[in-house]
Amino acid sequence: MKTKREKKKVFISYAREDQAQAEKIHQYLSDANFDPWMDVHDLVPGDDWLKSITRAIKQAEYFLAILSHNSVDKPGVLQEELDIALKICKKIPDPEIFLIPVRLEECETPEKISQYQWVNLFAEDGWVRLLRALHQERRKSRNWNRRFMASLTGMLIVVSFMTWKVAFQAPNSDSTLLYENACKASTLPLKVGFARLKDCPVENWSTLDGMWESETVQITPLEQSISSSQDARALTGYDLVIWGSCNDQNTLQFELVSSRKPDEIYEPTSLQATGTLTEVGDVGEALISYQRGEYAEAAQQFDASKLAAGSPELELLRSNSLMFAGKYEDAISVLKDTVLLQVPTWGAVYNNLGIALFNREELKKKSGYNFNGLPEFDQAIQYATAENDTETLLLAYTNKGDLLRRSSNWEDAESACKAALQSSAQSSLPYFCLARYKLARIAGSSSDISYTEIQDDLTNGERFGLPPAKIYILQGNLYKMQHQKKEALAEYEHFLNLMQNRACLQVDWSYINDTAGYITMLKH
């Protein structure tokens, strides 16, 4: 936890007519473990107010410009404070955020700060978006020698769908461990089943086994005859199954049996590599790192592999590795400049590109709506329809529905979810899409949707194989809305527990942060 000295300083600039609202913001920031500065609290009799205010703005991590009809065009102290803040902005390296316009109601933004993305504090998710912006990590030191490193264990975000008037507190100690371990690579040995290569000398098997053997990899020789992917994937208890044959070169088939990826991402699960022992061994090393959740290392291994460059599937896994390592710009480059050049009509690539674009923008900015990825999801739908690729079609519709839901485009979000259901009523994704959409509508005070409808969607999603983590987070939200605290707590803790062995996107951290906050709120 941050000490008082380490708390992030936030300067609150406001018009006198908005003092009551500014006082509330000051209190909420204090409760959320920030150090807000406000003239009525921090100026003392005899202070040179202009020098004191200038000093406070320069020492602040963030400058909040509180805006309403009362303040937009009003001359006075607010305008002077804005001018000081704008001078500081010119010295701050991109893409750091300093000045945040905070709108208390629908109003124009002053022209001189119109280039800065505002946050609507009156919106359903306004307070959440503001807190996320204030919690972001600084990338470079400020000129006034202030540098705060974000600490996951000290992050204090409690989200309320119904109101932004919530006191923020730290996660309880009994949920901190689950929170800290989310999205980390597996500590368990990777279980690899390796069938002897058909028509190959024994030394080939031994050479590959030696390349892959380590303390974190458990390789088991398979005596079963494997002649198809279906045979390999029918084996239980393995994360990765390898089989193949030798002719002029070695041909290895890799079956990714387990998956730790986010559910929004397409991941090829059956991959073939043909080459020398060293070449196919290098592919195996990259896939072992990928399956273990060591994504930065996997991306480097795919990049160095001679065989990966000629395989769209392996390059797609390289881009996935980069995404899961938080390197969205690099992932986008691989998808655009490599994979799409090889397979320009592969719908799954457009789906993953949309995810990468959306998460890149989520990493850059923490306020305002993010529409990046929408055209890519539409392209994924177009190509998946032409290819009769149901898996990609479901992913793209679900991702499109989620993006539209986030922007409160309710009608189109519902249409995307229903289109997914029409594509396949035997898949879990449409029910997940609908449940998430309906929860958001109820949170927005919609009276046309019942809790029973949402429970039915969750039941259907579970019946058709919706990943347990998704079930737990949505079921927890449903219980919370129904004021069933004990049940909601259990679901949220199950969710955090399952996220310990998963790959995460930037947006997944929002769910993890929110869940830790929900647990805190429910236990008080």
Cα 282 from chain centroid (whole Å): 30
For the CA atoms of 399, 405, 411, 416, the dihedral, rounded to the nearest 10 degrees, stands at: 10
Cα 86 from chain centroid (whole Å): 31
CATH C-level class of 4-152: alpha beta
What is the predicted pLDDT for the residue at 3? 39
DSSP 479-521: HHHTT-HHHHHHHHHHHHHHGGGS---HHHHHHHHHHHHHHHH
Domains 4-152 and 187-259+264-344 fall in the same CATH topology: no
Map 265-280 to HEC letters: CCCCCEEEEEECHHHH
Residues 487 and 132: beta-carbon distance below 8 Å: no
What is the predicted pLDDT for the residue at 1? 34
What is the predicted pLDDT for the residue at 162? 35
Question: Distance between CA 53 and CA 65 in Å, rounded?
Answer: 14
Cα 190 from chain centroid (whole Å): 25
State whether residue 426 is helix, strand or coil. coil
Would strands 99-103 and 250-256 be described as parallel, antiparallel, or unpaired?
unpaired
Which CATH number is 187-259+264-344 given?
A: 1.25.40
| 253 strand-pairing partners | 243, 272
What is the predicted pLDDT for the residue at 124? 62
Residues 366 and 62: beta-carbon distance below 8 Å: no
What is the predicted pLDDT for the residue at 327? 94
Would strands 240-246 and 250-256 be described as parallel, antiparallel, or unpaired?
antiparallel
DSSP 335-395: IIIIIHHH-TT-HHHHHHHHHHHHHHHHHH-SSS---TTHHHHHHHHHHHHHHT-HHHHHH
pTM higher than the cut 0.85: no
User: Where do the structural domains in the chain lie, given as residue ranges?
Assistant: 4-152, 187-259+264-344
The tens digit of pLDDT for each residue in 447-481 reads 688 899 999 999 999 998 888 888 999 999 999 88
What is the predicted pLDDT for the residue at 108? 81
Q: What are phi and psi of 449, to 5 degrees?
A: -120, 140
The segments of the chain whose pLDDT lies below 70 read 1-6, 72-76, 93-95, 124-125, 136-177, 365-369, 444-447, 524
State whether residue 309 is helix, strand or coil. helix
Residues 368 and 409: beta-carbon distance below 8 Å: no
What is the predicted pLDDT for the residue at 175? 57
Residue labelled with tokens 């995810």: 355
